[in-house]
Amino acid sequence: MNRLTDVAELLDGPLDDETALVANLRDLSRLNRWTGGTALSVAAVRTLGPIASLIDVGTGAADIPIALIADARGLGRQLHVTATDSRPEVLAAARRASPTLATTDGLVLEIADGRSLPYPDATFDVAHASLVVHHLDPVAAVACLRELLRVARCGVVVNDLTRGWPVWIGAWLLTHTVARGRYTRHDGPLSVRRAYTPAELVDLLGQAGLTPMAIRFGLARHRVAIAATATP
């Protein structure tokens, strides 16, 4: 399967239907949880050692930050997560989709573009991005990964879909049977077509100055989470 580059996802266009956007964020939270995407991020972040701070770029519903905070709490540690998205409409929808975000200890939501983050070097222990890289062409993806590396002291975690026909079939079935939002039904299978293979993702990390230290695959290898550190 060749990577599709000339068709945009609805989430990359005007987000003028708040109800559909809220439904999409709720869909993604459920799918992250049910298909193991959230667990992949938790496991990958753990490989970078005990941490106190993390930035989540392209946070969407902020469901993975919530899981990371809960995991740290279960280990007897406190984790502060700055959950960012480049579009204020997404953060507003996230608050509507999950009102408890406003009262979650250790979580703040901020507007920031992953390709040009407004934070000094080494501000956070770890930089994390889930379901972000497939939205970007290779040049923009490398720029984003370099920014993640720049603001992280310990390492970077990237979690994304993998490209392939079996994964596309699974995404189509899931989004047409489980998803409730029109954004999800349209974008789910398309996201797989736009995703990178694990080898391509490793290559992008290398171009950004990162070396993988742990690679974890989800069910049927539909997703991959890579924990990486700065290349010596």
Distance CA 212, CA 226 (A): 6
**Token representation of residue 65:** 């930050």
Share of the chain above pLDDT 70, in %: 100
Which domains does the chain possess? 14-164+196-230 (3.40.50.150)
Question: How confident is the model over 166-174, as a mean pLDDT?
Answer: 94
131: left (phi over 0), alpha (psi -120 to 50) or beta: left
In tens, the pLDDT along 106-135 reads 999 999 999 999 999 999 999 999 999 999
Look-up of token digits 């193991």: 36
Residues 6 or more apart from 224 whose CB is under 8 A from it?
40, 159, 160, 162, 198, 201, 215, 216, 217, 218
Q: How are strands ordered across the β-sheet holding 210-217? A: 107-111, 80-85, 53-57, 124-130, 152-161, 223-230, 210-217
Question: How confident is the model over 153-169, as a mean pLDDT?
Answer: 97
Q: Record the pTM.
A: 0.96
